[in-house]
Amino acid sequence: MKTYEPGQIRNVGLYGHQGTGKTTVAETLAFLGKATTRLCSVVEGNSNFDFDGEEIRRKSSMSTAVGWAEWGKNLVNIIDTPGDSNFAAEAVMSLTASDLGVIVVSAVDGFQVGTDKAFQMLQEAGLPIVILITKVDRERSDFNKVLAQVQEAFGGAVVPIALPIGTEAAFGGVVDLVGEEARMYASGPNGTKGAIPANMNDAVASAREVMVEKLAEQDDELMMKYLDGGELSSDDIKVCLAKGLKSGGVVPVLVANAATGAGIDLLLDLVTGYGPSPLERTNFKTRKGDVEETVVVSPTGPFLGYVFKTTVDIQTGKITIFRVISGSVPADGFANVNTGTRERFGGIGKLLGKKLETITTAVCGDIVAVVKLKETRTGQTLATDVSQGELVTMALPATCIAYAVKPRSQGDEDKLSAAVQKLVEEDVGLTLSRDEESKEFLLHGLGQAHIQTAVDKLKRKFGVDVEMKLPRIPYRETIKGSVKFVEGKHKKQSGGRGQFGVCYIDMEPLPHGTGFVFEDAIFGGSIPRQFIPAVEKGIRDCLLKGVVAGYPVVDFKVRLVDGKYHDVDSDSRSFEMAGSRGFKAAFKQCRPTILEPIMTVTIVIPDECLGDIMGDVSSRRGRIIGTDAKGRNQVVKATIPMSEVLTYASDLRSMTSDRGTFQQELSHYDELPQNLAEKLMAEAKIEEEEE
């Protein structure tokens, strides 16, 4: 591959709802751009971009993949992102690599949740946007209906610059409104230019008038010329299109049948002719401590790069994919700003899916890959020197569901940890933690399907078969009543020196959140001073294991009021046992109950879902704290027991057609209803008897 100058590079990300054909668009871009010699297909299972076994089986992307195309004098880097919200972190990570976002919309399915999410995400990232309406050859496809939907949703900036020739099975070409010509595709994906069909003259004239008026608004001088009745020349229109696209003032709409390639050449013309080069990206910032600085993007400046994707190949090893933000990749390696370590590499390559082609250098703005970096992970910044600071990027979506994972084979614990670490390197939407209380490994993700996919990959790719279950809820045991002078006695005589210790304790409840308070109220030496700490230790040793349900005990006070000892047989161990037995006996007499964790849940939903969500919160024993309007959405704040929101990510997705999101954090503990507490205690007793 030839070396391109930074001004000749275009970085294009493909976004949108699941199933709209983003990967098919990517395949056609690569084919037209001579990166492949055949037009590969998701349906046929030979896609360059969906190469993982599970992606091939599902015929759906689950991970970001990159490729490239050469068009005219330009290099087009292609970033194909998954549309499933379970893998939304992949799309967010790609925003640093993309300079322009193409939102792919199905002419059959129309405006969908993923369309809206992609538009909002790209706007937040400050990237220019193009809308590509695909599948116009399918039955029930309706270009005009879908165009109206996106214009209603996204406003007057959305303007078509191409129209389809024919509908459904009769679709055969595209009218280029900017060039005022038709492109027909009877002979293949490279369009043949010709005259616009006569029966479309009126529709084309009307659409072009709207387009020209919108484009004229992008330049004050040309706008005045247009308003004064002057005709804008072809060059004028092209200047306005480039300005409007780069500024976000215009969101051009194109049309294509990506499966055959029809219309994709016009997309390549738009991207290379009017889209921004990496040198025009001005919103990069680095952070050093609390100070942020704007990055001056320069081909000759110090090297700065950002890792937006990592893949782990069984044969090749770890492949690190990064964008060169500024400068060029130094031949002698670079520093990892996040870890402070230096990394060296054997060579640089261009990826097409998983196929790596070696190149000699990586210039400013290019997207490249290196293999077997030891310390570098996704989301980290590479630089000439660590003092350059970490790149500031958009926050990833917070994980919203967790499952406990356990190897089916007892000897695979260490293997599980290593495999999950590799998995987390590939998918930044996943995190692994260990619950110190339950000793469970918890895999956190963006949805139940996200976790299940990860578990399937653990088995298929890394040979670790695991069980997954909902995590153990961290209930707490406490008391509602008081008791006085309960005996705790430990006596053992088996020849020789025995063991003897007796204590008497009072017990009473304390306010929520207080914990455990121990009071020494011994007078007169009924227990020698050196043994009193042993009584407290005996009680504390029982706190984590619980008494009635196996959960930690909280919010109570023990007063040590009396006891007995033996000059020979008493020792610290005897009084530990006495304290433990006294505590358990007193606890059972103090009306024990269970406390459950209550979460503060913030739910963002469309206006029309408000009633359903509020009703659902009530059905989960939740309490609405308040609601607030935020644009087209409602923000509902509520407190809900943790046990009722373990699978809320999937439930909310279903109730809102994937338009709702939520975040949660621990608020406080509250008493579990008596019937549920009794059930929990009964289950614990059954388990104890079975053991």
Give the model confidence (pLDDT) of 489-523 as tens digits.
999 987 667 899 999 999 999 998 899 999 999 98
> Does residue 244 share a domain with residue 164?
yes
Averaged over 69-77, what is the pLDDT?
A: 97
The 8-class DSSP code of residue 642 comes to G
In whole angstroms, what is the distance from residue 132 CA to residue 106 CA?
A: 8
Cβ density class 595-633: b for 16+ within 10 Å, e for less: bbbbbebbbbbbeebbeebbebbeebbbeeeebeeeeeb
- Top pLDDT among 687 and 216 is at 216
Task: Specify the 3-state DSSP secondary structure of 516.
Answer: strand
Q: How much of the chain is helix, strand and coil, in % rounded to 5? A: 30, 30, 35
528 lies in the same domain as 437: no
Eight-state DSSP code of residue 392: P
On whether both 586 and 655 belong to a single domain, the answer is no
Q: Region 364-392: what's the mean pLDDT?
A: 94
Residue 557 banded pLDDT, cuts 50, 70, 90: very high
User: Is the pLDDT score of 381 beyond 60?
Assistant: yes
> Which pair of structure tokens corresponds to residue 642?
């943790």
Q: Are residues 68 and 174 in the same domain?
A: yes
> Do residues 583 and 634 share a domain?
no
Q: Supply the mean pLDDT for the chain.
A: 93
CA angle 165, 171, 175 (to 5 degrees): 25
Helices assigned H by DSSP within 217-363:
220-227, 234-247, 264-274
- In a 3-state reduction of DSSP, which class is residue 155? coil
Predicted pLDDT at 241: 96
Residue 136 has pLDDT above 50, yes or no: yes
Nearest by Cα to 35 from 67, 7, 64, 5: 67
Torsion of CA 192, 194, 200, 204, to 10 degrees: 90
Whether the pLDDT of residue 346 is over 90: the answer is no
- Residue-level pLDDT at 686: 65
The answer on pLDDT for 253 being more than 90 is yes
Cβ burial, residue 654 (10 Å; 0-12/13-18/19+):
exposed
Three-class SS of residue 487?
strand
The residue with greater pLDDT, 188 or 303, is: 303
At 615-625, the pLDDT tens digits run 999 999 999 99
491 close to 500: Cβ distance less than 8 angstroms: yes
Which of 227, 250, 280 is at the close of a domain? Answer: 280
- Note the helical H segments in 464-571: 532-543
Q: Considering the domain boundaries, does residue 684 fall inside one?
A: no
pLDDT for 584-599, tens place per residue? 999 999 999 999 999 9
Last residue of a domain, one of 454, 469, 484: 469
Integer Cα distance of 30 and 71 in angstroms: 10
Six token digits for residue 351: 């990826």
Q: Are residues 180 and 268 in the same domain?
A: yes
Q: Which pLDDT score is estimated for 524?
A: 84
* pLDDT in the model for residue 424: 87
Q: Which of 40-44, 176-180, 587-591 has the lowest mean pLDDT?
A: 40-44
Domain holding 447, by residue range, is 404-469
Q: Of 175, 240, 179, which Cα lies nearest the Cα of 214?
A: 240
Query: Are residues 296 and 426 both part of a single domain?
Result: no
What's the CATH number where 250 sits? 3.40.50.300
Identify whether residues 230 and 304 lie together within a single domain.
no
Residues 481 and 465 in one domain: no
Q: How far is CA 229 from the centre of its chain?
A: 51
- Asked, for residue 683, whether it belongs to a domain, the answer is no
Q: Is the model's pLDDT at 691 over the cut of 50?
A: no
Q: How confident is the model at residue 130 (pLDDT cuts 50, 70, 90)?
A: very high
- 370 & 431 share domain: no
Q: State the DSSP code for 130.
A: E
Number of domains in the chain: 5
524 is a domain residue: yes
- Residue 236 counted as domain residue: yes
Cβ partners under 8 Å of residue 163, min gap 6? 143, 174, 175, 177, 200, 203, 204, 207, 255
Is 690 part of any domain? no
Pair 274, 300 in one domain: no
3-state secondary structure of 401: strand
Judge if 116 and 241 occupy the same domain: yes
Q: Is the pLDDT of residue 19 over 80?
A: yes
How many angstroms separate the CA atoms of 239 and 263, rounded? 22
Question: What is the rounded average pLDDT of the residues 450-469?
Answer: 90
Residue 2 domain-assigned?
Answer: no
Q: Is residue 85 part of a domain?
A: yes
Full-model pTM: 0.88
- pLDDT score, position 309: 96
Rounded to whole angstroms, the Cα distance separating 234 from 568 reads 107
Of residues 71 and 462, more confidence is placed in 71
Whole-number pLDDT of residue 21: 95
Residue 689: pLDDT over 60: no
Write down how long the chain is: 691
Domain boundary among 469, 484, 509: 469
User: What tens digit of pLDDT does each residue of 202-226 get?
Assistant: 999 999 999 999 999 998 888 888 8
- In-domain check, residue 654: yes
